[in-house]
Amino acid sequence: MKRVLSAIVFLPVFWVIVKKFQPGLYQVLILATALLALRELYRLAEARGQRCHRLLGAALAVLIIATFVLPGVDPHLPLLLGLTIIPLAALRRGGDWSLAFGDIAATFFIAAFVGVLFGYLIELRVIDEPPKGLETGADLVFLLFLVVWGSDTAAYYVGSSFGRHPLAPRVSPKKTIEGAVAGVLGALVAAFIARQWFMTRLTVRDCLFVGLVLGIVGILGDLVESMLKRGAGLKDSASIVPGHGGILDRVDSLLYAAPVLYYYYMFAMRIR
């Protein structure tokens, strides 16, 4: 029930933010969400004894995200800074050198993971193509969220009610094959709903691709986050969103699906 109530409250608000405002408000929302997800991931790493450089990681993630928004920012700069400054910070901190490699790797990976994948959530929104201009990006963002959330909802309710066969028991014992199949079907239904509702340029082929591929990729993203939580020995990354745990528990599927939708649009839909 908490999942349903969260969706009822958030979906209309999100619709207004994406469809009725300029991209700036959406970008601020994504940036704030990215920093919360970064904090949760560092919490997971630190639960296994890693000493992450949180402030440097946050700065690096923000800089990576900025490369998706500001054309004047060299995309190589975050890579250079991450590869040089984070090891120097580990050197300055000292302590147990046997942990240095893991500390550096965890700090850099988490910052890059958050910066790049949240960057694609922003990149989708700023797509400005005729005939709809910036509305094209708004449509793509809402398509992404609708399909992924449709998949997540179907997978959860079917899996919890009818699931009998584990999907990946070592990673996430509660996820089932029945739930995964329902999730992909839910994504397909959501894609066809989007075609009838607000994105009529979608063809049947587009709906099949978006539904099938984003549904599958979203499930894989969810399993990756489950793997990280299991490795850290924690049930949830945090407890911010009612019925969902942390921010990362809510956006893990979106993070893997966003680049797929972005490149599908660029190479398959943009030319039409």
Strand-pair category, 166-168 with 172-176: antiparallel
Distance CA 103, CA 106 (A): 5
**Averaged pLDDT for residues 47-56:** 92
* Higher per-residue confidence, 245 vs 166: 166
* Higher per-residue confidence, 14 vs 78: 78
* Higher per-residue confidence, 242 vs 199: 199
Q: Supply φ then ψ for residue 174, to 5 degrees.
A: -85, -15
Distance CA 38, CA 112 (A): 10
Phi-psi region of 215 (alpha: psi -120 to 50; beta: other; left: phi over 0): alpha
* Residue 31 structure tokens: 């940036």
Residue 271 above 70 pLDDT? no
One-letter identity of residue 232: A
**Averaged pLDDT for residues 124-130:** 89
**Averaged pLDDT for residues 124-142:** 88
Sequence ranges of the domains in the chain: 2-269
Contacts of 169 (CB under 8 A, 6+ apart): none
Residue 3 above 80 pLDDT? no
Omega within 30 of 0 (cis) for the link into 131: yes
CA geometry: angle at 94 spanning 92 and 95, to 5°?
Answer: 165
Asked which of 40-49, 123-132, 187-196, 215-224 is least confident by mean pLDDT, the reply is: 123-132
Residue 95 above 90 pLDDT? no
Contacts of 172 (CB under 8 A, 6+ apart): 222, 223, 226, 230
Contacts of 108 (CB under 8 A, 6+ apart): 57, 60, 82, 83, 86
Contacts of 256 (CB under 8 A, 6+ apart): 117, 217, 218, 220, 221, 224
pTM: 0.91
Q: Supply φ then ψ for residue 95, to 5 degrees.
A: 90, -145
